[in-house]
Structures are given as structure tokens and as C-alpha cells.
Amino acid sequence: MSKTLVTYFTASGVTRKAAEKLAQTIGADLYEIKPAVLYTQADLDYMNQNSRSSVEMKDPASRPELADKDANIAAYDVIYVGYPIWWGVAPHVVNSFLEAYDFRGKTVVPFATSGGSGVGNVQTYIAPSVPGAVVKEGKRLGGTEDAEALKVWALS
């Protein structure tokens, strides 16, 4: 059987809940993507053009530093990557994470939580960070999916 890992970044806890539910439902291991410097409430203020998240997201090349690089990606075949949608895409710390490891030959399955936006075009904002991996269509998880629906998506 292929080995599966659910990874996630969360700033305020919503994506953690979705990731835990997914990992439990499909029997996968769990790994949290942590920035070296945690995001404060002020950092997350998207109304403020000068907040940390606004500055990072305006710069396509920004790659916030990670707290660690010890995820055992090599041990897994399928890696789910979960994150909150920020300005229509993944927070750039997710790209920092993906670019820190070798995903060649792996299957990457993006999922996201959001205030309402869809997961967006993962082939443009996730795939370039994982050369040689197959990037599946992403899915927005609303938190209300029942285990059966989650399984049907995750195992398809």
C-alpha cells in the first residue's frame, strides 16, 4: 500500500482541523508546516497593505523561512498539502516548504480552507514548486464534509 502524508500550514487553526480530519479519515500521518516566525494577528491583516502577509503575498519571490526541514517526505508516495487561501493562492511559506524537499515521482494533492474562494489554479502556484511531481486537482474543504465524502475524494 502506498504511504500517505497529510501536511498543512495554518495561521488561525481552521486548516489544522481540516487536515486532522482528513488524516484520520484516510489513515495518513500528519505534519505541520511551521514558519520560523509565527504570524501575529497584525501580520494577517489583509486590509493593511503593509502587513507582513500583504508584503509577502505581493512579492511572488518571497519565501518565508521554515521552522524546520525535517519532514520525511522521502518515505511517502502521496503527500496532501493543506493551507488557507491567501489572496487566491497558497501562502508563500507553503512554497518554501515544497521547495525545501525533493518531490520527484510523488503525487501532491492540494487542499485549502478559505472564506469562500475556491482553491484556484494549483498548476500555476503549487506545481512549479514541485518539479517532477504529479499535482492533482486541488479541493476546498468547508469543514462540513462527512467522512464518506472525504474518503471518496481523497482516494479517487
Ligand X SMILES: Cc1cc2nc3c(=O)[nH]c(=O)nc-3n(C[C@H](O)[C@H](O)[C@H](O)COP(=O)(O)O)c2cc1C
Would you tell me which residues interact with ligand X (CB under 6 A)? Answer: 10-15, 44, 46, 53, 84-88, 113-117
Shortest CB 64 distance to ligand X, Å = 13
Cβ closer to ligand X: 131 or 143?
Answer: 143
Shortest CB 105 distance to ligand X, Å = 29
Residue 82 forms beta bridges with which residues?
8, 111
Shortest CB 50 distance to ligand X, Å = 13
Give kind and range of the element (H or E) at residue 112.
strand 107-113
Cβ closer to ligand X: 133 or 145?
Answer: 145
Shortest CB 32 distance to ligand X, Å = 11
DSSP string, 11-28: SSSHHHHHHHHHHHHHT-
As a whole number of angstroms, the distance between CA 3 and CA 19 comes to 16
Cβ closer to ligand X: 106 or 120?
Answer: 120
Decide if 133 contacts 106 (C-beta within 8 A).
yes
Nearest to 8 by CA among 46, 41, 34, 47: 34
Cβ closer to ligand X: 81 or 133?
Answer: 81
